[in-house]
Every structure is written in structure tokens, then in C-alpha cells.
A and B are shown apart, each in its own frame.
Chain A
């Protein structure tokens, strides 16, 4: 008889040996989501009719061996209370708990901080999902690759245009073995157009020791990495506080993945499906370009849509929203309690909570190709916001046209505007 391998794969698929961690971040990162997230935490923003993290849960629920989901972040517990309650009804077999960080520890730091809670129940591997990502979440395919390769880590990758690649973490991989050879976060030069989707599967035996050694390294030798732009700093959890605090921040992307690439058991699953990072309010409309788990038009049961209105493709109508006779809504999100009056036309836009669009008004953004991963377009030589966003409780007068604008909350638009941010 052959020796049974140290990891029991046959049991693994059937047994509850997997956990999932959703990294939800915290309120300080919200500025880029203005004007929409002045109120709503980004992970709870509706995309295709459900909060962003609801889509994560749907995918996780389809993993047969899942034990539990941990959400890690530094929002107040109250923020996710209702969501977790609803999710418990929707996903009865999926225990969900929120683990709150009281200081920003970094994506890896947070994982490590809650290692006891995560390792409880002895999972062998953990999925880690960034909550600012929308995609088809092919978790079972990642798990299969993990098993096939006897991997320690699997990362989800996707191809983007060469130009866009340097805005993301870039993966250099061996095409045949799919092994990750090199990983670099937001390189200054083009190195690969295969990028990190922010979805991982780690063996617990690999990830926690790896974070531990990163922390040790940090204590021994403080990081001397310089970042190419202020944007990188913004996207980090790093607080502008004393050196000691900074040293505690350990991020998966910058501090762990490149080390894992040095090990031989790090693989990439390349998805050809739709993927998009939800970084700004603008990009939130784009996931509606592709059906996620819902059809191209989502209408909340409590919304009122006149039968002569025409919706779609890729439209989400929120709770209690009212769409009038002969109105047209295309490639847009209409949030809760908003009203679109008769014969109005809303294209490539987000209509904020409680906003009103008048009769024969036209609210229009400019479509960007889904592959561009950009939320602005160059028009007549000027870079403009590509989609129109009406913040909370904005009003657009009858027959008024609003094109490529961002309108901050509580504004009344009585005249035509184009290519402006309206304060």
C-alpha cells in the first residue's frame, strides 16, 4: 500500500475543510467612491441589484467544502448587522461572522491578527476575496487547480490591455505549468498584462507562516520600498502615524505575494470571464454590463415601472424607485426611492437615492469599453468623467440635459450641463 499523502484530498472535497475571508476594508477608503458613498459603505453598494459582497457570498456558497465565511474590516459592527442577518436567511448553510479590526492592519495583517478565529475548525485552505471586485468568482475552478497542482496558493488572474495593466498587481506566469514566477504590485513599467483579480486560495500551512515571516522581516529590517505615486498610498491601509504603527501594516499584495512567487507552489487560474474592480462610483455601473448572477435588467419588487418604459440592457432599478411612462433607462443604476419621470432618457448613469429626473430630461454618460478599466474618457482632447452620477437627492428639471457630470448630493439641476463636477 502506498502511504496516504499528508493532505487527504479525497476527503477534502467532501469534508468541510475550506473557509472564506472577505476583506471589506474600512470607511477611510471611501473618498474615491464619492459622490455615492457619502452614506453607504462601499461593500454594501448595490451592483446588479445586490450589495457587492452579496455576489461574493453567492459564489462562496457554491463551494461544496465551505465551513464558514469571515468578513474582516474596520467598519463599525453595526454597518454589516442587517446585511449579515439577511445573508443568514439567504444562505442558511453558510455561517458568516464579522471580525472587526480596531486599527488598520493591512490585508495580510488582518488575516494574521484573526488567525485563531480563522483556524478554528481546522480548515486546510482559505479563500480570500477583496470586496471591491466584481467577477464570476470561479472559486471551484480555482480549487480544482489547487488540488491538481498540490498548490500552496492559487491566485485568480485576468488579462487586461497593456496600458491598464500597470494600475494593478501584475503576474508573470509559466504558460504551461501556470506557475506564478513573479508578482509585482502596480509596476512603473509594463511587465505583464495578466493581473491580480484580488481573489486567492491559500493553504493555511503556507499563508500564515508566510505572513509571520513578513512581519519578522519588517521588524528586523523596516521596509524601504518607495511608491511611485500617491495613489498607491491611498489604496493602502497605512495611516499617517508613527513608524511603529506603519510597520504593523502588512499587505497581501505588496508584502506576501511576491514572496509566494519564490516558492514553487503558487499558481494562477486565468479567467476569461468578466472582471472589474469597483474602485470608484463610476466603475460600479460597469458590472451591469455583464450578467452576474442576475439578468441584464434587475427591478426590485417594490419598484414601480410603467409598462411603456423601456429598460435595459444592464439596468438595475432599486427599491421603491418609480419609472414613468415612456421613460428609457439603459446601462444604468437607479437607486432606492429615485424617480424617473415620463419620457425621460437615462443612459450610462447612476441615479442616486431619492433623486428625481424630470419629464423629457436626458441624463447621459459616455460608454467606456468594458476592457478599458477606466472611468473617464477623452473627449475633444479633454479628459471627462465617462458616466454621469447623480448623488443623493439630486433633481434634474424637466427637459434638462446632463451629460458626463458628477453631481454631488442635494443639487437641483435646472439648466443643461456637460462635462462638469457640480459641487
Chain B
């Protein structure tokens, strides 16, 4: 089987992290974001993964190369000469995606969920039509594009309604699809095309598009706030499905569960960590540190008595003693926060040293 992941551009929404690292390589729960998807694809027998990119970070190719053998699949980079929207990249990779008649997966790279690809393939094959899109239930459908089904049919899609004022349904496009190669015939070459607004409505008109209800959580983690929320959802899911990947709740420093700590990280005395904390490779956490709802990326150091909440601490950063970080603070690579400093919603660019409080959310250049 084959898959295409829509990676796109520079990941500006996830700056300052993406100033240092291409977005697909930013560690989400101690693993590059894109690897979560590639592993899930490999697990259902995908042999070719196309990464649709419109820039070509060599570091990404180098890092992902090592997983090809490990996962037994081939990773292709498909570079758009110009932005082609969400459907154009599929046409561009037609040679790989249509090399046989089997359906292929399409994934938005920012999405995290439990990736139920096995059930998705079975469902798709069972209805026998051209495409299936994964949908997820939301509380406030008026903010999204909502999927409306044919009367008296549980999965065949009738239409899409963008930001409905009146309630027409509560299922939205989750950004994961499985499509037959015939869908590629509906996309023009070398023209920017939207899969949501052009390709899918055409498939719907022919009664060939179905929806598949996603079980469990779903989150677009393309920006820091959602990255943190997505981490909470992911860790909660792990706690049920694979608790061995989390630190045991009986560990003295764990508070409220959902704590993932790399085995090379060091944790000091009298810490209170959790819920929803990820601590990366080679991190050093001092004594009396309080962490909650945060991700500490590899190589960072949190000194004694610091207090961190709703924050992403970028790679190789240092957080001073009695410092307090909160309200979606994001530290880029190699940032230093001084002792006793308070940062409220600060977005700190790489290599900065912060010596005065950041009282209101601000970008520190």
C-alpha cells in the first residue's frame, strides 16, 4: 500500500520551534511528529510513503532515511515547484500513488489521533466506492466544515457545509483519507487545487465518497496551544492503551498521571510532575521542580524549584531556579530563562537569554 503525507511549508504556526527544526521532526511525545504517522502506516503494510513538501530540508531527509529500513518502507520526497494546494501534490505524486490499483492514504501532517488505518482500509474496501474520509465529532460544528450524509445512509456523503449557522451535523473532516487511484483522474496537473473544496465535492456528486467515524481523540497540533492539548489527549490515550510507555503513577514524583519521561532524563528530589508532562532525552530536572501540562524537549535543563505549566521548553534550553513559565510559553532552541524570572505567554526565539519578566504575552526576538 501507499500513502501521501501533506507536509507543506515551513510550519510557521509552530515557530519558534520550527526556526530550528522542520515541523515533522519536532518531537511530539518524544518522537518526531511525522514518525507517529509513518509508524502507523507501516503497521498496516504501507510500503511507499510520499512526503509532499514545498521546501526541502536536508536534515529531514537524513533523519527519516534511518527509519526506512527499520520500518521496511520507502520514503519519497515530492517537492512542489510552486504551491499546489491540498490536491495538487497528489497529482504530482501520481507515478507512485497510481503504480497499482490499490487505494492510498492521504494524511495532513499536523493531525494526531489513534490512526485506525486497519479498520479504515476494511471499511473502504467494504463499501467499494472511490474514497473515504475520516470524520471526527466536534462540540461546535459551526466553526468547521461539516459533513452531511445522504438521507437513510450512514456513511455516504451528501454534501459539505462550511461553517453552518443552523445545525446540520457534528462530524467534520479529520484530514485523513483513503482514496482509490481513480480520484487522481479528477485532479488537473500543475494547477493549485483544493481537495476539500474542489476534488471532494466532485466525488460527492457521483455518490462515491463515504465517511468513517474516528474513535477516540483527534487534534490538529500545528500550533503551540494545540500541540499542548494534543499532547494531553495523546498521553491520556496511552494511559489506557499502552501505559508501559508512561511513568508509573506509583512513582513518588508523579502527580495526576500521564507523565512520559525519556530513560536518559534525570529527575531531582521532591519534584511534583504531572499531569500531562513529556520530558525528552538527556533533560535534567532539578530539585523541587513543579511541572504540569508541558513538554520539555531534549537536552534541556530545568533548575531547582522552577514552576512550569502549559509551556514547550525548546531543545537545549535552561530554565532558572524559581522561574515560572505559563500560559503557552514557547522557548526556542538554546534559550536561557534567568533565576526567578516570570514568563507569561512568551514566545522566545532561539539563543535568547531572558533576564527580565515577560508579564504579558509577547514575542521576544
Contacts and interface: CB of A to CB of B under 8 A. Distances in A.
B110 interface: no
B270 A360 contact: no
A328 B359 contact: no
Contacts of B326: 401
Contacts of B309: 399
Interface stretch (A125-133, A234-242, A293-301, A340-348): A340-348
A325 interface: yes
Given A342-B288, A343-B288, A345-B324, A326 B342 contact: no
Interface string A239-265: 000000000000000000000000000
B196 interface: no
Contacts of A218: none
Contacts of B322: 328, 343, 345, 362
Interface string A313-348: 000000000000111101000000000001101010
B130 interface: no
Contact of B359 (A327, A343, A347, A379): A379
A364 interface: yes
Given A362-B324, A403-B359, A343 B305 contact: yes
A279 to B, nearest CB: 26
Contacts of A308: 287-288
B304 A326 contact: yes
Interface in A387-401: 399, 401
B307 interface: yes
B244 to A, nearest CB: 30
A325 B288 contact: yes
Interface in B297-316: 304-305, 307, 309
Given A342-B288, A360-B290, A326 B324 contact: no
A58 B321 CA distance: 38
Nearest to B326: A401
B199 to A, nearest CB: 47
A345 B307 CA distance: 10
Interface in B137-169: none
A326 B305 contact: yes
Contacts of B307: 343, 345, 360, 362, 399
B80 interface: no
B360 A326 contact: no
Contacts of A359: 290
A342 B342 contact: no
Given A399-B290, A399-B307, A403-B359, A362 B270 contact: no
B68 interface: no
Interface in A351-366: 359-360, 362, 364
B340 A347 contact: yes
Interface in A301-319: 308, 310
A328 B324 contact: no
A330 B340 contact: yes
Contact of A326 (B270, B340, B359): B270
Contacts of B290: 343, 359-360, 399
Interface in B302-360: 304-305, 307, 309, 321-322, 324, 326, 340, 342, 359-360
A401 B324 contact: yes
B342 A362 contact: yes
A380 interface: yes
A345 B359 contact: no
Contacts of A364: 342
A112 B324 CA distance: 56
5 contacts: A308-B287, A308-B288, A343-B307, A362-B322, A399-B290
Interface of A: 308, 310, 325-328, 330, 342-343, 345, 347, 359-360, 362, 364, 379-380, 399, 401, 403, 418
Q: Shortest 7 CB-CB distances between A and B: which pairs?
A: A326-B288, A345-B322, A343-B288, A328-B322, A360-B290, A343-B305, A326-B305
Name the residue in A325, A330, A345, A359 with the highest tally of chain B Cβ atoms < 10 Å from its Cβ: A345
Contacts of A327: 305
Contacts of A330: 340
A22 B98 CA distance: 97
Interface in B210-267: none
A345 B340 CA distance: 8
A254 to B, nearest CB: 41
Contact of A328 (B272, B287, B305, B360): B305
A270 B326 CA distance: 48
Contacts of B287: 308, 326
Contacts of A380: 359-360
Contacts of B342: 362, 364, 401, 403
B360 A342 contact: no
Given A343-B305, A362-B342, 4 more contacts: A343-B307, A345-B322, A403-B359, A418-B359
Of the listed residues B305, B340, B360, the one surrounded by the most CB atoms of chain A closer than 10 A to its CB is B305
A361 to B, nearest CB: 9
A293 B29 CA distance: 55
Given A360-B307, A399-B307, A328 B340 contact: yes
A420 to B, nearest CB: 14
Nearest to B323: A345
A342 B290 CA distance: 11
A280 B290 CA distance: 35
Contacts of A325: 270, 288
A35 B50 CA distance: 67
A9 to B, nearest CB: 54
A379 B359 CA distance: 10
Nearest to A418: B359
Contacts of B272: 360
B151 to A, nearest CB: 49
Interface string B281-294: 00000011010000
B175 to A, nearest CB: 35
A380 B324 CA distance: 20
B218 to A, nearest CB: 30
Nearest to A330: B340
Contacts of B360: 380
B288 A328 contact: no
A213 B309 CA distance: 69
A301 B161 CA distance: 73
A193 B322 CA distance: 40
Contacts of B324: 345, 362, 401
B337 to A, nearest CB: 13
Contacts of B305: 326-328, 343, 345, 360
B321 A328 contact: yes
Query: Which of B270, B272, B288, B322 has the most C-beta atoms of chain A within 10 angstroms of its own C-beta?
Result: B322
B111 to A, nearest CB: 32
Interface string B169-185: 00000000000000000
